[in-house]
């Protein structure tokens, strides 16, 4: 369960434009793909179903269900997406949007540093629960990509494998160092 207070949730909801049940300009399939790329989870899994099952309600439930680390990573990626979306539209960030974006990045940073040790469990199976038929080659590539990411960030990680699972343990001082000095809003 992510440790978000009501003010933080309000800021995130404002940045992500969640009032009407939507989430930025995402369609159901594009949000599913985005969340999977970001944190490797199925956003339309039943555990995120809440009430009307709108994108906004699912995101609120995601915040309730998932760990600080996972939520921090998704928030960080959504903040970058928001900034990129504005740039693609040729729109400058308004002062209020800049403040809100910085606040949301701060939330991500706080969440990413909230645990002594984070255990990131990447569970990949030859076939997912939706039966989309992920092949073994794709699974191996995802695990290798994750290992490359940690390597690129110069993280000292302990890696253990058990069957279809790979566990990366990251100590608090090394958690997501790219968040520690982030500021891509000018």
Question: Would you state the pLDDT for residue 113?
Answer: 77
pLDDT, tens digit (0-9, with 9 covering 90-100), for 70-128? 899 999 999 999 999 999 999 999 999 999 999 999 999 888 876 433 444 333 333 34
Mean pLDDT, rounded, for 167-175: 45
**Helices 28-39 and 55-65: angle between axes, nearest 10 degrees:** 20
Share of the chain above pLDDT 90, in %: 48
User: Per the structure block, which two tokens stand in for 166?
Assistant: 């790979």
Report the candidate in 77, 36, 89 with the shortest Cα–Cα distance to residue 184.
Answer: 77
Note the pLDDT of residue 120: 43
CA 32 to chain centre: 12
DSSP, collapsed to helix, strand or coil, labels residue 128 as: coil
- What's the rounded Cα separation, in Å, for the pair 38 and 41? 8
Q: pTM (2 decimals)?
A: 0.65
């Amino acid at each position: 369960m992510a440790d978000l207070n009501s003010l933080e949730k309000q800021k995130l909801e404002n940045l992500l434009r969640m009032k009407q049940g939507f989430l930025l300009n995402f369609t159901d399939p594009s949000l599913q793909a985005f969340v999977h790329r970001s944190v490797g989870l199925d956003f339309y899994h039943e555990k995120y179903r809440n009430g009307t099952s709108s994108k906004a309600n699912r995101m609120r439930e995601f915040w309730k269900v998932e760990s600080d680390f996972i939520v921090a990573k998704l928030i960080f990626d959504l903040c970058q997406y928001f900034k990129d979306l504005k740039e693609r539209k040729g729109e400058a960030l308004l002062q209020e949007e800049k403040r809100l974006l910085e606040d949301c990045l701060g939330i991500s940073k706080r969440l990413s540093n909230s645990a002594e040790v984070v255990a990131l469990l990447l569970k990949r199976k030859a076939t997912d629960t939706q039966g989309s038929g992920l092949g073994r080659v794709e699974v191996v590539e995802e695990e290798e990509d994750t290992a490359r990411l940690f390597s690129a960030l110069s993280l000292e990680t302990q890696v253990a494998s058990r069957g279809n699972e790979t566990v990366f343990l990251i100590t608090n001082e090394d958690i997501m160092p790219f968040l520690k000095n982030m500021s891509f809003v000018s």
